[in-house]
Amino acid sequence: MTPAAAEPYMPAEGTAVLENLAFDLAREASELSAQLHPVVRLSVAELVRSMNCYYSNLIEGHNTHPRDIDRALAADYSTDPHRRDLQIEARAHIEVQQMIDGRVGELPRPPASRAFIEWTHREFCKRLPETLLVVENPDTRERIPVVPGQMRSRTVAVGRHVAPAPEDLPALMRRFGEAYDATRLTKPRQVIAVAAAHHRFLWIHPFLDGNGRVARLMSHALLLDIGVGSALWSVSRGLARNSGEYKRLLMAADEPRRNDLDGRGALSQEALIDFCRFFLEICLDQIRYMRELLDPSELQRRMELYVRDEESAERLPNRSFVVLREALLSGELERGRVPGLIDTSERTARRVISALLEKRLLVSGSHKAPLRMGFPIDVVERWFPKLYPAT
């Protein structure tokens, strides 16, 4: 099989519905990032990475409770082996996305390159327990080890789709990297390429296992690379909430060209356009959801309602909201400003700060460092409604 077997790698130029979506996506992503102070964005990013991990796990059929993910980040693992394995898997996902978000020095680029894709698989899989690094042949029951970062050496089938033979993978991945190299594309085409690359990567299916996870991390990295993505929103949430349509359109885009009006490649261009439209609409929906959720006035209102309840129950000291609001708006709050801010003594101010730190509503690098917002799992339901499904 030659790389031409996956043509077209991109929808035809001038596909208006996709170009319009790409334009809206770029504009609204920029508006979302402008809503919050840069320091507060870092705290929100931690929350969104956990959410992204939760929904990415859900797509794989692994329902890891948000509290279990929170505990995993604190190295507090369950005594139940299966639950512990899923916690470790969740932490692995978050750590790899953290490296992508932070653009760590050793990170290969560009995100569609074979080097980046192998790096992502290797970094994720090397953090997994051995029990999650095995796949079973459904016909022979043979248990096959998954080697981190290593492309498969045997042919596999995914549903009705028989993935390319192992010997064809190097040429296919080389063509894949060329097709989705953002430096060769206009801005709208760069955005459309993220959606197209997501499908074509899963069609190639280069690894024995972990392809879905790598595809979503790669898509996140591609969006970051072109300045549209950010750590403030996640396409995985939208894909998981529409998993039936996601999987249906993925399978449809695996199909061969339907007729003479369906492009000139081996695969259906119409089906690729349908998948790209779905993917970009999901991205836009998630940006709009997070923009509404992070609207400063609405976020402050939800925070105030929560703090009022906590103060009434004597679980937080009075004037706590004033401190939290200042941390939200200013990004960082010097401890010495708190007494004047809440018009009280230094001793009382220290008590307020201590209570907010204990509940992780504020976080700080040391006992003297500035204070910044924290978003612990305990407040997520009140401050960020519908971020996770009701449980």
Quick check: pTM over 0.85? yes
Closest CA to 216 of 56, 389, 26: 56
What does each C-alpha distance from 258 to 20, 268, 328 come to in angstroms?
26, 6, 54
User: How far, in Å, CA of 97 to CA of 177, rounded?
Assistant: 20
Three-point CA angle 165, 198, 206, nearest 5° = 25
User: How far, in Å, CA of 8 to CA of 180, rounded?
Assistant: 12
User: How far, in Å, CA of 134 to CA of 91, rounded?
Assistant: 19
Mutual angle of helices 243-252 and 38-59, in 10-degree steps: 70
User: How far, in Å, CA of 64 to CA of 73, rounded?
Assistant: 13
All domains of the chain in start order, with CATH? 10-293 (1.10.3290.10), 297-383 (1.10.10.10)
- DSSP assignment of 137-164 equals -TTT--EEEPPTT---SS--EETTEEPP
User: How far, in Å, CA of 269 to CA of 252, rounded?
Assistant: 10
- Tens digit of each residue's pLDDT, the chain (391 residues): 899 999 999 999 989 999 999 999 999 999 998 888 899 998 899 999 999 999 999 999 998 999 999 999 999 999 999 999 999 999 999 999 999 998 766 789 899 999 999 999 999 999 999 999 999 887 788 899 999 999 999 999 888 889 999 999 999 999 999 999 999 899 999 999 999 999 999 999 999 999 999 999 999 999 999 999 888 999 999 999 999 999 999 999 999 999 988 889 999 999 999 999 999 999 999 999 999 999 989 999 999 999 999 999 999 999 999 999 999 999 999 999 999 999 999 999 999 999 999 999 999 989 889 999 999 999 999 999 989 886 5
Helix, strand or coil, per DSSP, at residue 135: strand
